[in-house]
């Protein structure tokens, strides 16, 4: 097993059943809030988190803050700088709070396999289906995972398509290497930071213990965890939600643009709509016009938030899944033309940048 030593505090030799190898990078981190765990969570001593992006970074921080100090969190991202930043922040928090040396550790893994071999709960937060498949296949093709005291639980919080999610679930279940649960998330970066996310998950309802265990883990990073049905049901629910979001976002940008050209005050228009039947998340929380909602990405140059490429990816996945189930969509392909063009012109920006894109169109 190869772990890099990014941080060099002494390693904890605690009551944990999965002994940690001596060549690990580590940091101490302190709990930010009181601990309320179900028994099922307390038994998970080593946690793995793969994908520390806009969502994952904040989710992993909340996880580290809420799991017992004596538990270990192992992180993995292809971006070395991100991992180093996470470890540095964790150690700074630990230092300032005076947590005991060797507790609340964060370790950095050099590969997904290294992380998965040690962890009883593995959470993934990756951009799209191919990234998730690549990560799972990268460790599955290296042979059967060593058994741990407790069955491994894989929770994928990425937004991917039901077919890919079921394929990965089958690869894990058929080889008896743990349980795989699709649990995509809603609530954005703000919710990830605040620990107020909503999760929707797919897992067999015949396994009550599994459902309890999944809920307990998800509630360490969010406020709600909906069991939507069998494996794949979580991502199906997420794609249905994001299909609405994709279209509401365009409609909101168009309506704001229209109202402003008619001479309406943007804040007054938003207030009216938010008290009327046009009310929706893009209008109320993520308003695309700079200055209407101070906390929205539009008010800071469309930085942060939900990237336009991710929105376009979710729309593509929803359209493909609709085609596979022979379900008609009247607006999907039109919206896709819009997002393709917006992505080309404003890559990396929040998806509300559709408003700016509209303004730049010739009339
Ligand atoms: P992101 O692109 O910011 O983060 C993805 C992270 O995965 C990056 O840090 C990247 O380096 C890492 N990564 C990529 N390939 C990897 C690999 N092979 N091994 C390890 N790490 C790898 O994306 P995000 O905004 O954090 O979104 C993550 C998922 O959550 C996506 O599926 C997205 O659709 C979904 N989601 C995002 C939001 C949002 O507001 N950003 C909201 C709800 C759901």
Where do the structural domains in the chain lie, given as residue ranges?
5-229, 237-360
**DSSP conformation letters of 216-275:** HHHTTTEEEEEEEESTTHHHHHHHHHHHHHHHHHHHHHHHHHHHHHTT--HHHHHHHHHT
C-beta 207 within 6 A of ligand 1: no
Using the mean position of ligand 1's atoms as its centre, give its distance from the Cα of residue 130 in Å: 12
C-beta 88 within 6 A of ligand 1: no
Nearest CA owner, ligand 1 atom 8: 53
Q: How far apart are CA 48 and CA 154, in angstroms?
A: 9
Nearest CA owner, ligand 1 atom 14: 126
Quote the pTM value. Answer: 0.85
Mutate to test the pocket of ligand 1, among 50, 55, 168 (most ligand atoms within 8 A of CB): 55
C-beta 131 within 6 A of ligand 1: yes
Q: How far apart are CA 3 and CA 111, in angstroms?
A: 8
Residue % of the chain over a pLDDT of 70 = 86
CATH fold of 5-229 = Rossmann fold (3.40.50)
**Phi then psi dihedrals of residue 326, to 5 deg:** 50, 45
pLDDT digit string, tens, across residues 268-321:
999 999 999 999 999 999 999 999 999 999 999 999 889 999 999 999 999 999
Q: Between 57 and 3, whose confidence is greater?
A: 57
Task: Give the architecture (CATH level 2) of 237-360.
Answer: Orthogonal Bundle (1.10)
In this prediction, residue 102 has a pLDDT band, given cuts at 50, 70 and 90, of: low
Q: Is 238 a catalytic residue?
A: yes
Using the mean position of ligand 1's atoms as its centre, give its distance from the Cα of residue 13 in Å: 33
Residue 180: beta bridge partners?
A: 154
pLDDT digit string, tens, across residues 177-228:
999 999 999 998 889 999 999 999 999 888 899 999 999 999 999 999 999 9
The answer to whether the Cα torsion of 257, 261, 266, 270 is positive or negative is negative
C-beta 51 within 6 A of ligand 1: yes
Atom of ligand 1 nearest to the CA of 134: 18
Q: What pLDDT is recorded for position 103?
A: 66
Q: What letter does residue 3 receive in the DSSP assignment?
A: B
Q: How far apart are CA 205 and CA 72, in angstroms?
A: 30
Residue 107: beta bridge partners?
A: 74
């Amino acid at each position: 097993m190869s772990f890099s030593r990014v941080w060099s505090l002494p390693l904890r030799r605690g009551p944990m059943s999965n002994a940690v190898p001596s060549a690990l990078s580590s940091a101490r981190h302190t709990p930010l809030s009181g601990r309320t765990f179900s028994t099922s969570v307390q038994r998970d001593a080593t946690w793995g988190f793969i994908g520390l992006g806009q969502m994952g970074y904040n989710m992993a921080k909340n996880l580290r803050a809420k799991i017992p100090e004596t538990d270990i969190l192992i992180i993995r991202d292809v971006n070395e700088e991100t991992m180093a930043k996470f470890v540095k922040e964790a150690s700074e928090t630990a230092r300032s709070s005076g947590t005991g040396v060797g507790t609340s550790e964060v370790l950095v893994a050099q590969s997904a396999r290294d992380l998965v071999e040690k962890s009883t709960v593995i959470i993934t937060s990756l951009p799209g289906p191919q990234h998730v498949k690549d990560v799972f296949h990268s460790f599955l093709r290296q042979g059967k995972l060593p058994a741990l005291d407790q069955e491994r639980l894989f929770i994928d919080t990425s937004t991917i398509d039901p077919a890919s999610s079921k394929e990965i679930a089958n690869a894990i279940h058929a080889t008896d290497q743990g349980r795989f649960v699709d649990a995509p998330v809603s609530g954005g970066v703000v919710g990830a930071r605040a620990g107020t996310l909503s999760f929707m998950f797919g897992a067999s309802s015949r396994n009550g213990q599994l459902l309890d265990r999944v809920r307990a883990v998800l509630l360490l990073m969010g406020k709600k965890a909906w069991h939507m049905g069998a494996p794949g049901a979580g991502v199906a629910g997420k794609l249905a939600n994001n299909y609405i979001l994709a279209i509401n976002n365009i409609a909101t940008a168009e309506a704001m643009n229209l109202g402003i050209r008619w001479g309406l005050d943007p804040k007054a228009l938003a207030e009216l709509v938010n008290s009327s039947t046009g009310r929706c998340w893009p209008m109320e929380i993520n308003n695309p016009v700079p200055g209407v909602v101070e906390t929205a990405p539009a008010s800071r140059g469309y930085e942060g938030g939900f990237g336009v490429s991710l929105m376009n990816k979710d729309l593509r996945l929803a359209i493909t899944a609709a085609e596979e189930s022979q379900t008609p969509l009247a607006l999907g392909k039109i919206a896709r033309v819009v997002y393709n063009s917006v992505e080309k012109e404003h890559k990396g920006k929040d998806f509300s940048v559709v408003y700016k894109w509209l303004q730049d169109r010739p009339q």
